Structure 1
């Protein structure tokens, strides 16, 4: 079976899945990169992987590669297309060949944008009109299915998917031993941007200190809000509690995750997936995450393998963190369950297995029904906090 995956550029969130596909299919798997990795990503520590792996075809290097990519769009048995031009699947859809779109949510800034005539017409043209075609949606956000349903697209054709960063294997007892500290360690990781709401972590730290709790908080990342955050730390007299550590490589971040007890993920609805959640759970952190983040409803079972709080509700966030500090055994239990979730289900190997079964079922008109995890049905989820 020949499978081709189109996207803008290869990154470490997609690499494990691509390696699994290549292991199974060899030269019959191709990742088509349609753009060079942006310089901004390279400065953040990303690696340029487009020229590193034999299964990558770069369309921007020469006309021959571009034409080969167009040909693969028609000849492949299955195509997965993410952030890449539709020209690669235009003829394929006409021929009604099995195709998966791979998308985060489309209304990150609010579903009210559906009333914009240009947005509405574009969605009808590129999605709704193909509702009877052999075209399906791999949802890289829990909110993707509901966004597309607003225009009647992909009804009963949406599947849970996401990003699959490398899942490291630990001896659980040894991993949890790294988290034994005299005071709990809290971690926040991300670009210091408005959508990430990093100031929420600092406000929670202020509340914890005011309530007399001992803790250490590390913030990893850089961005436009760095100056504001440093001022807040001084204003709230938190210099002894919070360390601003700047930008780090993915490997260095993992090291901090492995030693942290609690991971706070504070982004709003503009966070498409949020692969840092996969990494924190894989590292055995007890995660406290905003319900607005695309990966959260897929990965976290509230109070089973992490905690979900209402986006923007600082008191709710504070109470979750406080409960974990007061109950260190429960904190450890959530961390262990988080690790198991990634090790047993939300990883590239499991996702590839399930996608293979889904593809065969769709090609033969059989039924494969996963009750949860990758390739299970992506139900419609509203913005309302329901946990």
Structure 2
């Protein structure tokens, strides 16, 4: 077996790259699923991946678990993700064989995260297992992951850009309707209504834009514990005429809806890991206006080139005490797009091109195999940007 991934669950975050690796390795690839989890852990994806020929469910039987452990000994390269993979990773490191650890950032809450049992176990395994002297490297599914590792004296100089890769179709940019020049500009927000997603910010933004006379419509998709409060805030601020609460839709319908919107608002704070909706919105023709604290934002967005970045809200931002600096930054970025429809169109074209040409499952899979080949030969990555470049 050329390459084996060990991860919690096969979902839409992993399956697209896995499909490509299966093809590119000529079926010498395996994804080891480590837990039998419910639908809520599939990140909104209801697809059944049980028929994938490369899938090995280690949780199903003792025989499957033994097969997964055997692959630790025989694979050319292994990728380990999460605390559930630690037993396999320790055995692989005991053997001193080429491997990657894959994760989002470890220190979302700063050094307090070291008191997390899972992170502490991985931290101690690295330092007391002598892993710094082994052929072990880091795939960073967050632009902040390498900085966290540097602070912890782990994977220093061994971090590479990675992420979650949603499906990217080859679609002609000219086929998208030019919504940027319409009289009423359609904006979109799509997420669970959780505090880390800060649904208060787009509603407060809507009031500011409305008061300044901008013509727009904000469609908010999703559900969650703070949906009622969000609706109430919209009513209190008298913006129900410019906000439409769309509820929940299947993923394929959401992707189609993205193509009918001009701007996508991604308002999460630093507790957002990667944020695959960033990939999806950019792929489907939205100009992404994203918090600069989201894991994918610095990788995907060059400000006013492939999207716009606004100041991340503090984690304390709430309905009663919103982060005014973040709100003003968000409003400023959206106003720029509304005031400059030609620039908006250019950014839209560049973001689609970025996804089609660089941040997609096929390129990621090809680059990972190239990186493995280079490391086996004692060389470093040949890539200067995008997946598998130095983080």
TM > 0.5 fold call: yes
Note if 1:32 corresponds to 2:32: yes
Q: 2-side partners of 1:224 and 1:66: how far apart?
A: 38
**What's the counterpart of residue 384 of structure 2?**
371
Q: CA deviation at 1:2?
A: 1.5
**What's the counterpart of residue 329 of structure 2?**
316
Q: 1-side partners of 2:46 and 2:272: how far apart?
A: 19
Contact kept, 8 Å, 1:13 with 1:166, in 2: the verdict is no
Q: 2-side partners of 1:164 and 1:118: how far apart?
A: 28
**What's the counterpart of residue 110 of structure 2?**
111
Q: 2-side partners of 1:163 and 1:45: how far apart?
A: 14
Structure 2 CA distance for partners of 1:123 and 1:63, relative to 1, 3 Å: closer
Aligned counterparts, 1:208-287, within 5 A: 208-287=209-288
Give TM-score scaled by structure 1 length: 0.93
Q: CA deviation at 1:348?
A: 1.0
Q: CA deviation at 1:212?
A: 1.0
**What's the counterpart of residue 384 of structure 1?**
none
Q: CA deviation at 1:89?
A: 2.1
Q: CA deviation at 1:344?
A: 0.6
RMSD between aligned alpha carbons? 1.8
For the residue of structure 2 that corresponds to 1:14, the secondary structure is helix
Q: CA deviation at 1:48?
A: 3.0
Give TM-score scaled by structure 2 length: 0.92
Structure 2 CA distance for partners of 1:58 and 1:264, relative to 1, 3 Å: same
Contact kept, 8 Å, 1:192 with 1:224, in 2: the verdict is yes
Write out per-residue CA displacement over residues 53-79 of structure 1, whole angstroms, 9 at most, x where no aligned residue. Answer: 111011111111111011111211100
For the residue of structure 2 that corresponds to 1:13, the secondary structure is helix
Q: 2-side partners of 1:44 and 1:114: how far apart?
A: 26
Contact kept, 8 Å, 1:160 with 1:377, in 2: the verdict is yes
Q: CA deviation at 1:217?
A: 0.5
Structure 2 CA distance for partners of 1:158 and 1:283, relative to 1, 3 Å: same
**What's the counterpart of residue 318 of structure 2?**
none
Contact kept, 8 Å, 1:140 with 1:294, in 2: the verdict is yes
Q: Which of 339, 345, 352 is the equivalent residue of 1:332?
A: 345
**What's the counterpart of residue 75 of structure 1?**
74
Q: 2-side partners of 1:303 and 1:235: how far apart?
A: 33
Contact kept, 8 Å, 2:106 with 2:119, in 1: the verdict is no
Note if 1:356 corresponds to 2:357: no
Q: Could you list the runs of 5+ residues in structure 1 that have no partner in the other structure?
A: 379-387
Contact kept, 8 Å, 2:160 with 2:388, in 1: the verdict is yes
For the residue of structure 2 that corresponds to 1:30, the secondary structure is strand
Structure 2 CA distance for partners of 1:107 and 1:43, relative to 1, 3 Å: closer
Structure 2 CA distance for partners of 1:36 and 1:181, relative to 1, 3 Å: farther
Q: 2-side partners of 1:87 and 1:42: how far apart?
A: 23
Q: 1-side partners of 2:40 and 2:333: how far apart?
A: 34
Write out per-residue CA displacement over residues 358-377 of structure 1, whole angstroms, 9 at most, x where no aligned residue. Answer: 10111111233311100111
Q: CA deviation at 1:122?
A: 3.2
Write out per-residue CA displacement over residues 109-147 of structure 1, whole angstroms, 9 at most, x where no aligned residue. Answer: x21316749788535422234111111000000011111
For the residue of structure 2 that corresponds to 1:346, the secondary structure is coil
Structure 2 CA distance for partners of 1:88 and 1:300, relative to 1, 3 Å: same
For the residue of structure 1 that corresponds to 2:176, the secondary structure is helix
Contact kept, 8 Å, 2:106 with 2:113, in 1: the verdict is no
Contact kept, 8 Å, 1:300 with 1:307, in 2: the verdict is yes
Structure 2 CA distance for partners of 1:48 and 1:41, relative to 1, 3 Å: farther
Q: CA deviation at 1:349?
A: 1.0
